[in-house]
Chains A and B, each alone.
Chain A
């Protein structure tokens, strides 16, 4: 017979450290039930999820000054500075996306169905991304990735009856199933090689140095297939443009920042913990460096030729993954700080740019660059904010994107990877071209005759301002955010 006292059961201390996730999962269930009880009035789930996300955000911000990493729930997840940082990031993304979806025709327009479930799934996905950023165990790594992926497949196909949306969902799912299958094979090899499921156990086993470098290379490549897919790293990026284009725009906005940041968090946890000791046996940072160069180059060069704004932004988000990977392979604390800082700024500006597309899509019904002609005068406030996001994405001072890129490149230079930095700078120059193409359409191209104003609802202006103001402010006063990122990296488990 079992003795309950000796069993390793979760307790209240675990639950207290896990509040933001519990709030998000609770909001998911409450929104589902609320939707049914309130007889499908969508404001009920909207309010529940918004309240949940704001609560989670405040808990996450309060958790930023965490003193020591805590392993909870049977050592499956870890709560440390980095998880607090990502919790804040995801909760913020959820708040903005929820606010913005409320006035989006693609979600809430006449004839659209399942409006309540949409908010519920956003809550669930946010919770899943938080768990992704905290996983320290192969089981949780896989399960949390699957939760986020499955939710994404459903949300990508949200516009039923639209072929593009169905295509997006199907492509996303096939790519996702394939890459998570490959990753699972890699994970099973890791378990076979090390006999451990936890990242730290794997690290300890690999530190012994008995594992053949070829096996390590194989495992790394296989695992990268899964994680690289999540962050849309070349060559696992093919899904991204089609999925962003086909999905409802608020969903694409969410995809381009949320799962990507979560994938980065998971990559940092996995690679920094498990594979750091074997750097001298097998030079995986070099492999990542090559992938980083390919990623940013492919992303930028493909974006140049696009005429659909959503596709431009999709390729630009691929390029940004390349910049982030540069700092990722430095394996230093400063590199991590730069990544966290950049991810935060990237979330603000990329989300903002996508939200602009959502906002004008309501009355324009198009995402083509040609139809954006003269929008700067037809929808002045939204366009001004779009310009802020575009400049920031390019990395021009005095916007937040510049500071973010500065930290990334500074770290690359400090570690004397000069060729990598040069490629990165050249790529930034290329990116200027297509960001400015959007800007030119907004302000310098003539609007067609008789084109009226493009109204943007006040709620959406507010949500965009929520992103644009920090993008501006962080460009001149980046100290506080940098401090937060530094503290998050200071209290980090298992490095």
Chain B
């Protein structure tokens, strides 16, 4: 009973904050609301006995990804003439689509039998996960490091300040592609 209440509390937090993320017109507010969504999900993990996953969710998503998202939305600004339109012509099709997707997923969720397990006593999972990662799942574990490495290299390559002098830059691109009224893309 009490566990149910806690579950619904976390679920409500997740869903309400999620709705706020989607519907807020202020991108920064949406970013901060995302924090509560992620917190709610972490709580749900903890409820399900996945304590390691819950803490990892907190450290990775709130401590890392959310901060980067916030940096990105704070440091960039949408030009006012490019602001997304929000007329009925957008709302109605989007709304219909969303309701249709929801109906479909509801039907899927309720219409089929899901293999379930009865929750037992919550056991510490950290050690189990560690052993699994170092034995059965060691290949994906190492492979993920390659994925992260390429993400890091890619970010460094694409973002680093250019050393090339403007005179050396290919002339045809500057002439044909950068309209005069747009700011230079290079740093």
In contact, A147 and B147 (Cβ under 8 angstroms): yes
In contact, A121 and B147 (Cβ under 8 angstroms): no
In contact, B143 and A124 (Cβ under 8 angstroms): no
In contact, B112 and A215 (Cβ under 8 angstroms): yes
Closest to B184 in A: A161
**Which residues in window 90-144 of B have CB below 8 A to A?**
104-105, 107-108, 111-115, 131, 135-140, 143-144
* Distance between Cα atoms of A163 and B178 in the complex (Å): 7
A109 is an interface residue with CB less than 8 A from chain B: yes
* Distance between Cα atoms of A348 and B176 in the complex (Å): 33
A446 is an interface residue with CB less than 8 A from chain B: no
Q: What are the residues of chain B within 8 A of A28 when measuring CB–CB?
A: 146
In contact, A74 and B138 (Cβ under 8 angstroms): yes
The prevalent SS among residues of A at the interface is: helix
Min CB distance, A149 to chain B, in Å? 9
B150 is an interface residue with CB less than 8 A from chain A: yes
Min CB distance, A233 to chain B, in Å? 21
* Distance between Cα atoms of A2 and B130 in the complex (Å): 12
Interface residues on A, range: 35 or more
B164 is an interface residue with CB less than 8 A from chain A: yes
Q: What are the residues of chain B within 8 A of A430 when measuring CB–CB?
A: none
Please pick, from B135, B137, B147, B185, the residue contacting A146 in the complex, using a CB distance under 8 A.
Answer: B147
Q: What are the residues of chain B within 8 A of A151 when measuring CB–CB?
A: 150, 154
In contact, A211 and B168 (Cβ under 8 angstroms): no
Q: How many residues of B contact A (CB 8 A)?
A: 39
* Distance between Cα atoms of A9 and B138 in the complex (Å): 8
A76 is an interface residue with CB less than 8 A from chain B: yes
* Distance between Cα atoms of A157 and B164 in the complex (Å): 17
A7 is an interface residue with CB less than 8 A from chain B: yes
Q: What are the residues of chain A within 8 A of B151 when measuring CB–CB?
A: 150
Please pick, from B135, B139, B157, B170, the residue contacting A109 in the complex, using a CB distance under 8 A.
Answer: B170
In contact, B157 and A140 (Cβ under 8 angstroms): no
Interface locus among A189-197, A321-329, A480-488: A189-197
In contact, B147 and A143 (Cβ under 8 angstroms): yes
Q: What are the residues of chain B within 8 A of A214 when measuring CB–CB?
A: 104, 107-108, 111-112
B111, B139, B151, B174, most chain A CB atoms within 10 A: B139
In contact, B135 and A74 (Cβ under 8 angstroms): yes
B137, B150, B151, B172, most chain A CB atoms within 10 A: B150
Query: What sequence of 0s and 1s flags, for each residue 421-433 of chain A, a beta carbon within 8 Å of any chain B beta carbon?
Result: 0000000000000
Number of A-B contacts (CB under 8 A): 124
* Distance between Cα atoms of A74 and B173 in the complex (Å): 49
* Distance between Cα atoms of A143 and B158 in the complex (Å): 22
In contact, A147 and B186 (Cβ under 8 angstroms): no
* Distance between Cα atoms of A397 and B186 in the complex (Å): 49
* Distance between Cα atoms of A140 and B147 in the complex (Å): 12
* Distance between Cα atoms of A77 and B170 in the complex (Å): 44
* Distance between Cα atoms of A147 and B147 in the complex (Å): 5
A110 is an interface residue with CB less than 8 A from chain B: yes
B78 is an interface residue with CB less than 8 A from chain A: no
In contact, A163 and B135 (Cβ under 8 angstroms): no
Closest to A196 in B: B115
B89 is an interface residue with CB less than 8 A from chain A: no
In contact, A111 and B150 (Cβ under 8 angstroms): no
* Distance between Cα atoms of A131 and B140 in the complex (Å): 11
With A189-B108, A218-B108 already in contact, the answer to whether A160 and B143 are too (CB < 8 A) is: no
In contact, A212 and B139 (Cβ under 8 angstroms): no
In contact, B114 and A9 (Cβ under 8 angstroms): no
Please pick, from A144, A162, A218, the residue contacting B173 in the complex, using a CB distance under 8 A.
Answer: A162
* Distance between Cα atoms of A194 and B116 in the complex (Å): 10
Min CB distance, A457 to chain B, in Å? 18
Q: List 12 interface pairs A-B (beta carbons < 8 Å), by A numbering.
A: A10-B139, A74-B137, A76-B139, A111-B170, A114-B157, A121-B153, A139-B137, A146-B147, A147-B146, A147-B150, A159-B173, A214-B104
Other than the given A150-B154, A161-B185, 18 more pairs (CB < 8 A) read A10-B139, A32-B153, A113-B157, A113-B162, A113-B164, A114-B157, A139-B140, A143-B143, A153-B154, A154-B150, A154-B158, A163-B177, A189-B108, A195-B115, A211-B112, A212-B113, A214-B111, A215-B111
